[in-house]
Chains A and B, each alone.
Chain A
Amino acid sequence: MGAHAYAIQARNVKKHYGRTKEGPGLNGLTLNVPAGSIFGLLGPNGAGKTTAVKILTTLLRMDEGSATVAGYDVSKEGHLVRSRIGLAGQYAAVDEQLTGYQNLEMFGRLNRLPKGQARRRAEELLTQFDLTEAAGRAVGKYSGGMRRRLDLAASLIVSPDVLFVDEPTTGLDPLARQEVWGAIRSLKEAGTTVLLTTQYLEEADQLADLVSILKDGRVIREGTPEALKSSFGGDRLEVTLLRQEEVVKAERILRGIGGAFVLVDNAANRISVPVTDRTGSLLKAASAFADSGLEPEDIVLRRPTLDEVFIHFTGQNGVSNKEESR
């Protein structure tokens, strides 16, 4: 690679589904994914993440716009794109009826590796993804984490220039999630550009160099996770209460101290408000609670999470809800 500063570029890509096929469309998607980065495509269900991945991996044809992947035109040079990408995630699966080893050997052969090399590579990947013990078992009997790892391994048989990972950790337990994250990080170190779609903000925060937030088929915010969090307005003052009844009263107090974007988590008896004056607002809150007789379990100042940024931009941004319920 090297010749291209961007591993993926999408220009105003549009996709509208007809009556017979359903799925979220794209309404002018523009993306610039720098070569060698991990790029997070975030969005709620139905925002068009999977549609975007399917178009960029040539599985789906766009209606309008243009896109290049690894320097090749997605619409006109599909076979060249396909020889440079890997696709892993919920929509590109391995064969459940075959064993892990048989899967990797098969995909190795289909990736033009000679027989001996395909076998050696299959064994190598099974070891690296900690699947040696399960190598001889049918994939249908694998756990979710094992299957995701095999899925990733299958897309890495020959190093792709660009790897698309569609919701890699949906439905995984925290340990398996860590394993998959580790695998994705080492890919980046090896020089692969990774485009990651996810609905987990933490995942993007952990992995991505750059993030685009997708809503109704277009990008509504983009930047580094840090920049996105700052753009959302400084720190947050978060108060956790012992009793449910105290939440309303505490909320009233906090509204007087912090900014407008108040988040209330009723399940956890937790309220947070954006603040600009860190120490001052903390003192104000402490004395206000003391006056009111409330005894919060916890009062902390913290950075906003990407979750809050996300709720802010996708929920409050007001890009009409009509389109969603269409």
Chain B
Amino acid sequence: MITMERNVKNIQPSGAARIRYAFTDVWVLSKRELLHWGGNPWGIMIGWLFPVMMLLMFGYLFGGAMAVPGGGSYFEFLMPGMFAMTMFFGVESTVMAVTTDASKGVTDRFRSMPIHASAVLLGRCMVDMLNSVIGLLVLIVTGLLLGWGWHEGADHALGAFGLLLLLRFSLLWVGIFVGLHATNPHNVSMVQLLVWPVGFLSNVFVDTTTMPAWLGAIAEFNPLSATSTAARELFGNPGLRGESWMSEHALLLAVGWPVLLLAIFLPLAVRSYRRLNR
């Protein structure tokens, strides 16, 4: 015999209760994602170690053949770019998680419950940001061990990390939006393929002045380039040429691009969640 539990859901909670519920919901949904990590620890760790592998590949396999225009160590040039690239790669895991939930019907279960849309999306956000912070720390420690460093003081360095996480935060909402529209995990592999050309078409690995002019101009336009350049500036790492408007205003763009992405994709993501089936 199945016993019933009295429905304790307060149909019209007061403002204070509503906020308390919202916090509980965000916490419970974040915990859910952390439990996923526990269920797939290797997958999570590979996500953190992948950028380290990329760093070693580009730093040591290709690094010898690379010259930084204007002089300086390629490894020092590469590190800020790899940070930005890591933030960018995080989008894949966001898209994959969002699409999986939507296609399996977990999202619909949440949507049929009296939970606010923002609680579900914020839970996703918190955990993905935590994931990225850890990934960033792993890469920072690796970089420091291999001789990279910042030269403009800790405050500037913190500013740079702040800009990197801001980029991740804005891309997260792009990821949620794309994930809600990808409808099944197979489509996500297309997103994963696209991540590579978009990531490489930037100044992450090479200075844009070494590219054909038109391609270099497109690469300069990439939000990744803005954040990389801004981070290079704040860390005091080489590679600053200041030849184009874009690179002269890298700091401004490293804030502007994410804010623009947020302004577009945050409302779109919330709307897509609410109207998932419509």
Q: A residues touching B (Cβ–Cβ < 8 Å)?
A: 21, 54, 57-61, 79-80, 82-85, 87, 90-98, 102, 106-107, 109-113, 121, 124-125, 128-129, 138, 154, 156-161, 183, 186-187, 190-192
Contacts and interface: CB of A to CB of B under 8 A. Distances in A.
A92 B105 contact: yes
B53 to A, nearest CB: 26
Nearest to A60: B277
A220 to B, nearest CB: 25
B61 interface: no
B26 to A, nearest CB: 11
A159 B11 contact: no
B113 to A, nearest CB: 6
B105 A91 contact: yes
B14 interface: no
Contacts of B25: 110
Contacts of A94: 106, 109
Contact of A93 (B24, B29, B106, B276): B106
A92 B110 CA distance: 8
Contacts of B278: 21, 60-61
Contacts of B8: 111-113, 158
- Of A59, A91, A106, A192, chain B has the most CB atoms within 10 Å of the CB of A59
27 contacts: A59-B111, A61-B275, A79-B114, A80-B11, A83-B11, A83-B114, A85-B112, A90-B105, A92-B109, A95-B106, A97-B35, A97-B39, A98-B39, A106-B31, A109-B24, A110-B113, A111-B8, A111-B9, A112-B24, A124-B3, A156-B5, A158-B6, A159-B5, A186-B1, A187-B2, A190-B4, A192-B4
Contact of A92 (B3, B40, B108, B114): B108
Contacts of A102: 32, 35
A108 B151 CA distance: 51
Interface of B: 1-12, 21, 24-25, 28-29, 31-32, 35-36, 39-40, 104-106, 108-115, 275-278
Given A98-B39, A106-B28, A159-B5, A87 B109 contact: yes
Contacts of B114: 79, 82-83
Nearest to B12: A80
A161 B275 CA distance: 25
B1 A59 contact: no
A94 B112 CA distance: 13
A93 B100 CA distance: 11
In order of increasing CB-CB distance, the 9 nearest A-B pairs are: A93-B105, A159-B4, A92-B109, A83-B114, A87-B112, A109-B28, A158-B7, A60-B277, A82-B114
B178 to A, nearest CB: 16
A106 B9 contact: no
Nearest to A157: B5
Nearest to B32: A106
A157 B39 CA distance: 24
Contacts, number: 115
B65 to A, nearest CB: 43
A90 B109 CA distance: 10
Contact of B112 (A58, A97, A124, A192): A58
A128 B2 CA distance: 6
Nearest to A54: B277
A157 B35 CA distance: 21
Given A59-B108, A93-B104, A110-B113, A159 B7 contact: yes
Nearest to B24: A109
Contact of A110 (B2, B36, B115, B276): B115
Contacts of B31: 106
Contacts of A59: 108, 111-112, 276-277
A224 to B, nearest CB: 25
Contacts of A125: 2
A190 B3 CA distance: 8
Given A109-B24, A111-B9, A128 B111 contact: no
Contacts of B24: 109, 112
Given A59-B276, A97-B36, A186 B109 contact: no
Contact of B9 (A87, A109, A158): A158
Nearest to A86: B112
B5 A128 contact: no
Contact of B2 (A79, A93, A183): A183
Contacts of B115: 110
A73 B34 CA distance: 37
A90 B105 CA distance: 8
Given A59-B112, A94-B109, A156 B2 contact: yes
Nearest to B4: A159
A277 to B, nearest CB: 46
A109 B35 CA distance: 15
A158 B106 contact: no
Contact of A98 (B1, B5, B32, B276): B32
Given A97-B36, A98-B36, 19 more contacts: A57-B112, A82-B114, A83-B9, A93-B108, A93-B109, A95-B32, A95-B106, A98-B35, A106-B28, A106-B32, A110-B110, A112-B21, A138-B39, A156-B2, A157-B5, A158-B5, A158-B7, A160-B7, A161-B7
